[in-house]
Amino acid sequence: MSYTHDVLEMSKKRNPAEPEFIQALAEVLETLDPVLEQHPEYQEAQILERLVEPERVVIFRVPWQGDDGTYHVNRGFRIQFNSALGPYKGGLRFHPTVNLGIMKFLAFEQIFKNSLTGLQIGGGKGGSDFDPKGKSDGEVMRFCQSFMTELSRHVGPDTDVPAGDIGVGGREIGYLFGQYKRLCNEFTGVLTGKGLNWGGSLVRPEATGYGAVYFAQEMLGGVGDSLDGKTAIVSGSGNVAQFTCQKLLQFGAKPVTLSDSSGYIHDPDGIDKEKLAWVMELKNIRRGRIKEYADEFKCEYIAGKRPWEVPGDAAFPSATQNEISKGEAETLIKNGCKVVAEGANMPTVPEGVDAFIKARVLFGPGKAANAGGVATSGLEMSQNAMRLPWSFEEVDEKLHGIMKGIYRSSADAAQRYHQAGNFVVGANIAGFMKVADAMIDQGLV
């Protein structure tokens, strides 16, 4: 049996109730055999055993009070998984499904994603099973203040720098930052995704969606094609989905779907600039449901389903993990989908990924395709450290360059290990080697 197999089996025994974490581990470990054969020094240093164990896990109580005076208790998490390349970096997710296994899968993915960006950032993730849906601004603020009251002991601009993820956007980052500042008496870049007039970076809100589209454009460019004129199927309707649509429109593509956890809309005429502005107001200000789009623009709303049954040339899963099943991947392939760029983290089940690769669909895995968000967070950290902001054009150009770099290093690594065109293998290998080498350099820690 191989080294990767042994470590995966050990991890399954050690983490019996964490299926998403095991899924993320398997997806990485299964691609590393050729590297480990060529580099026995990794096994000698027990790199995999060390890599699959977080450096630190913090779990804490988050008590808060509702508007009606009732008391509530949620669970808070911060996984500080790997600091070989820099301070822990990764988002915070507020969603009722959050649990230890989901936090660990996200933090594990983040190690390789952050490595691929070429920036000095380690891997982390955090969040809570708090559900911001239906809560007032005051309730969200009190929750965030309570959450940060504990988290503040564990983070810092050179230690661990959280950001947003599902359920955590500009509003939540603001409340979290305010509380950190009050507790620690320092105005530092402890969080990214901050407001523009208090240390945030231009392009950070746009970055994940823009980056996913840049990555898709690079994959298509590699085979002499482009997004121009393509019909795109997009899931989700939050931060990543919105800016994916915006960049798709700029590249001449036509997004025709958006979704939320209740269902999806299909607008065959395309979600144009004006309709997208309406969606942003609906989701970011009014915090309504995507069904209202169908009422407003007179198109189809399909309740309780995901958009993958709609024919299209390109797919941008931008909602959550495991949102493309094997059957849905097969439907996309049958309908002629040529390119998939994962804006979400691990949105495709392993059998779906296999189906895409087998059908030679250009498949950009999350840790490569959605790295634009954290990369721009890294750029926000640089600007905070310099206390000097860059222009929109400067940040966007850097983001574009980083996405091209991730495409290149993933494509090269895949080619080097005789799997040309397989960006899953390429991204895992390229991301892994930098972390493994840094761990060896830094001794047994």
Paired tokens of 28: 């990485």
Residue 90 binds which of ligand 2IT, ligand NDP, none (CB < 5-8 A, kind-dependent): ligand 2IT
- Is 74 one of the binding residues for ligand NDP (CB under 6 A)? no
Cα 113 to Cα 430: distance, rounded to the nearest angstrom: 10
- Is 343 one of the binding residues for ligand 2IT (CB under 6 A)? no
Paired tokens of 350: 């392993």
Q: Strand pairing partners for 242?
A: none
Q: Please identify which residue in 27, 74, 89, 238 interacts with ligand 2IT, judged by CB under 6 A.
A: 89
Minimum CB separation from ligand 2IT for residue 390, in Å? Answer: 17
Task: Name the catalytic one among 89, 104, 113, 125.
Answer: 125
Of 148-156, 169-177, 219-227, 369-377, the segment contacting ligand 2IT by CB under 6 A is 369-377
Cβ atoms 323, 240 nearer than 8 A: no
Residue 424 phi, psi (nearest 5) = -70, -55
- Is 233 one of the binding residues for ligand 2IT (CB under 6 A)? no
Q: 367 catalytic, yes or no?
A: no
Cβ atoms 258, 234 nearer than 8 A: yes
The one-letter amino acid at 93: R
Contacting residues for 329 by C-beta, under 8 A, at least 6 apart:
308, 348, 349, 351, 352, 353, 355, 356
The one-letter amino acid at 441: D
Paired tokens of 235: 């899931």
Minimum CB separation from ligand 2IT for residue 272, in Å? Answer: 28
Which residues inside 291-320 make contact with ligand NDP, applying CB under 6 A?
318-320
Which ranges of 117-236 would DSSP assign to H, the alpha helix? 137-151, 170-184, 204-221
Cα 312 to Cα 233: distance, rounded to the nearest angstrom: 6
Q: Please identify which residue in 86, 90, 101, 164 interacts with ligand NDP, judged by CB under 6 A.
A: 164
- Is 345 one of the binding residues for ligand 2IT (CB under 6 A)? yes
Which residues inside 204-223 make contact with ligand NDP, applying CB under 6 A?
208
Residue 89 binds which of ligand NDP, ligand 2IT, none (CB < 5-8 A, kind-dependent): ligand 2IT
Cβ atoms 431, 115 nearer than 8 A: yes
3-state secondary structure of 154: coil
- Is 406 one of the binding residues for ligand 2IT (CB under 6 A)? no
Residue 27 binds which of ligand NDP, ligand 2IT, none (CB < 5-8 A, kind-dependent): none
Residue 343 binds which of ligand 2IT, ligand NDP, none (CB < 5-8 A, kind-dependent): ligand NDP
Contacting residues for 197 by C-beta, under 8 A, at least 6 apart:
none
Cβ atoms 115, 435 nearer than 8 A: yes
Q: Please identify which residue in 124, 127, 236, 378 interacts with ligand NDP, judged by CB under 6 A.
A: 236
- Is 410 one of the binding residues for ligand NDP (CB under 6 A)? no
Q: Strand pairing partners for 75?
A: 61
- Is 200 one of the binding residues for ligand NDP (CB under 6 A)? no
- Is 126 one of the binding residues for ligand NDP (CB under 6 A)? no
Minimum CB separation from ligand 2IT for residue 282, in Å? Answer: 22
3-state secondary structure of 339: strand
Minimum CB separation from ligand 2IT for residue 181, in Å? Answer: 19
- Is 240 one of the binding residues for ligand NDP (CB under 6 A)? yes
Residue 267 binds which of ligand 2IT, ligand NDP, none (CB < 5-8 A, kind-dependent): none
Residue 240 binds which of ligand NDP, ligand 2IT, none (CB < 5-8 A, kind-dependent): ligand NDP
3-state secondary structure of 406: helix
**238 versus 426: smaller Cβ distance to ligand NDP:** 238
Cα 371 to Cα 343: distance, rounded to the nearest angstrom: 9
Which residues inside 176-205 make contact with ligand 2IT, applying CB under 6 A?
192
Paired tokens of 111: 């190690």
- Is 373 one of the binding residues for ligand 2IT (CB under 6 A)? yes
Percent helix, strand, coil in the chain (nearest 5)? 50, 15, 35
- Is 343 one of the binding residues for ligand NDP (CB under 6 A)? yes
- Is 256 one of the binding residues for ligand NDP (CB under 6 A)? no
Q: Strand pairing partners for 363?
A: 340
Minimum CB separation from ligand NDP for residue 59, in Å? Answer: 20
Which helix (H) or strand (E) element contains residue 94? strand 88-94
Question: Looking at the annotation, which residues are catalytic?
Answer: 125
Which residues here bind ligand 2IT, judged by CB under 6 A?
Answer: 89-91, 110, 113, 163, 165, 192, 345, 373-374, 377
Which residues here bind ligand NDP, judged by CB under 6 A?
Answer: 164-167, 169, 208, 236-241, 260-262, 318-320, 343-345, 370, 373
